[in-house]
Chain A
Amino acid sequence: MQIRKIRELLNAELLCGEEMLDDEVSYGFGADLMSDALAHTDSDTLLLTGLCNPQAIRTADMLDIAHVVFVRGKRPDEGMLRLARESGICVLATRCTMFKACGLLYGAGLSGGELHG
């Protein structure tokens, strides 16, 4: 699914990574605990999280995840966005809850992927 479409579906604001709107992701993973993401996520994945601190961006970076959505109206600060730009990560923010954001994307055809192990 194209990031542009994800932005539309979630009525999300693009906070950085404008040049990445045409990228595609195959899977979505929603988590507020980062080790869950670190255990179970492939790189070709959109990370949805309500955890708004630099570790959300770092976790994405470690996983080679290039697209992150902050849910529930969370707004990353400038330091987090700087880190995202340095790491080549596209950041969106939506007012949707985690449940609604995941539901909208899943309903539109984004796959959930499988648990690893």
Chain B
Amino acid sequence: MDDSLVLEYDVPGDDFTRAGEASSATKATLKRLGLPADIIRRVSIVMYEGEINMVIHADGGKATVTVSPDAVTMVLKDTGPGIPDVDKAMQAGWSTASGAARDLGFGAGMGLPNMKKWSDRMTIDTAVGVGTTVTAVIDL
């Protein structure tokens, strides 16, 4: 047994107004735990970008946040279309977002670069037609 806390959320893919609820809930929990404000802000930005991606690109998914004594680890797992070219997806400004997603305020192609910028480590495990798992770690 270690003293990690695990938070799990289902992120629905069909209700855009609810996108971000998992990130908000995570933020509230980290505040309650008394983590430093700059850490909470970084976790919030990374998780929110990842959560929105699951909603607009992959029809939802699962978010798991593990808070251990030395890090906050976010795993964002979906069974969506996958990312054919991860290098391209990581470029700032590169986006396949639909006009509809843009009308909703997303599709700048900044989300993944942003997640990488604010996390200490990030990996993308993806296969076309199978899904995408983004793992982002912020050290404490």
Residues of A within 8 A of B (CB): 32-36, 38-39, 43, 49, 51, 53-56, 58-59, 61-64, 79, 87, 116-117
Contacts and interface: CB of A to CB of B under 8 A. Distances in A.
Contact of A55 (B20, B102, B110): B20
B128 interface: no
B48 A53 contact: no
Contact of B105 (A53, A79, A87): A53
Interface of A is mostly: helix
Contacts, number: 77
Interface residues on B, range: 20 to 34
Contact of A38 (B24, B37, B102, B114): B114
A84 B111 CA distance: 23
Given A62-B48, A79-B17, A32 B105 contact: yes
B107 interface: yes
Interface of B is mostly: helix
Given A39-B117, A55-B16, A63-B44, 20 more contacts: A32-B105, A33-B106, A34-B106, A34-B108, A35-B108, A35-B109, A35-B111, A43-B41, A53-B105, A55-B104, A55-B105, A58-B20, A59-B48, A61-B24, A62-B24, A62-B41, A63-B45, A64-B37, A79-B17, A116-B117
Interface in B73-107: 102, 104-107
A62 B102 contact: no
